[in-house]
Amino acid sequence: MNTPDQSPLGKTSAYQSQYAPELLFPIPRLQKREEIGLGAGATLPFFGVDIWNAYELSWLNMRGKPQVAIATITAPADSPNIVESKSFKLYLNSFNQTKLAGTDALSELLRQDLSAAFGAPVHVTITTPDAFGTLEMGELDGTLLDRLDVEIDQYVPSPELLKANTDEAPVEETLVSHLLKSNCLVTGQPDWGTVQIRYVGPQIDQEGLLKYLIGFREHNEFHEQCVERIFMDVLRQCKPTKLAVYARYTRRGGLDINPWRANFSTSKPGNLRTARQ
């Protein structure tokens, strides 16, 4: 069973420029889900996806001319594994001097290799330069928590900060913060994100929620794990009947990772790149 400390993170790596799918390093999701009460055999209280955008993707056509594109990979949240991001980058770089017949051939290799690594079918979209101009930017909508003038004295996730008003009628609202920061589980390097929380249920205390989110500032976990921890803490502490948590993280090594988790029937969020991404 692969563990994060065995991954290429924090280690000197030789960059291969010929196709090498063996570079992908899957890590079981179960290892961290057990910490939030989702052990082996547990029914997941959410569904969702991890949306990866790869901006540094290049290969050679059959005449040796370099090609570039942007790839979007969507992996299901119920896949048994995540893929460690540096290994993902090393894998993508292994295409740099690899000759391929076209984007269809590239897409099929990506789909095949990444599905094997995640342990479930993934969806791959390739955007070529002629379509770069169609890509849009946008921000996550919602009431901005960051407007609140709060005093912070702790920087660890503290679920006890999460409270909801159960004495009044349920509400439906969307809350957003740009102040999410966590650290890589292995290297301790900072990860920056914007998080959106949609819910129906007792009204969540916004000040407590903002303090809770800021509490991730010195917390070491991968992006996907942080979002699932937020989801479970809000679900248990505030007891909404409907809940969705979506985070857009800034890129590292040409990759951004955007996890989304929900427990009610709703469409998958759009893949709009935010200003910081």
What span, in angstroms and rounded, lies between the C-alpha atoms of 199 and 71? 31
What span, in angstroms and rounded, lies between the C-alpha atoms of 268 and 46? 13
Residue with tokens 């990772």: 257
Catalytic position from the list 50, 113, 191, 256: 191
Question: Annotated binding residue at 147?
Answer: no
Question: Annotated binding residue at 186?
Answer: no
Catalytic position from the list 113, 184, 238, 256: 184
At residue 84, the 3 state secondary structure works out as: coil
Question: Annotated binding residue at 168?
Answer: no
Total number of residues shown for the chain: 277
The distance in angstroms from the start CA to the end CA of the chain is 32
Question: Annotated binding residue at 58?
Answer: no
- Between helix 223-238 and helix 206-214 the angle, nearest 10°, is 150
Q: Is 191 a catalytic residue?
A: yes
Question: Annotated binding residue at 252?
Answer: yes
Question: Annotated binding residue at 224?
Answer: yes
- Strand blocks (E) in the chain: 26-28, 47-60, 66-76, 81-83, 123-127, 143-144, 164-165, 171-183, 190-201, 203-204, 242-249, 255-262
Residue with tokens 């090393």: 90
| Residues near 203 by beta carbon (within 8 Å), at least 6 away in sequence | 164, 165, 168, 170, 171, 173
Question: Annotated binding residue at 242?
Answer: no
Question: Annotated binding residue at 111?
Answer: no
Known catalytic residues are: 184, 191
Task: List, as residue ranges, the binding site for substrate.
Answer: 83-85, 223-224
Task: List, as residue ranges, the binding site for NADPH.
Answer: 85-86, 252-253
Task: List, as residue ranges, the binding site.
Answer: 83-86, 223-224, 252-253
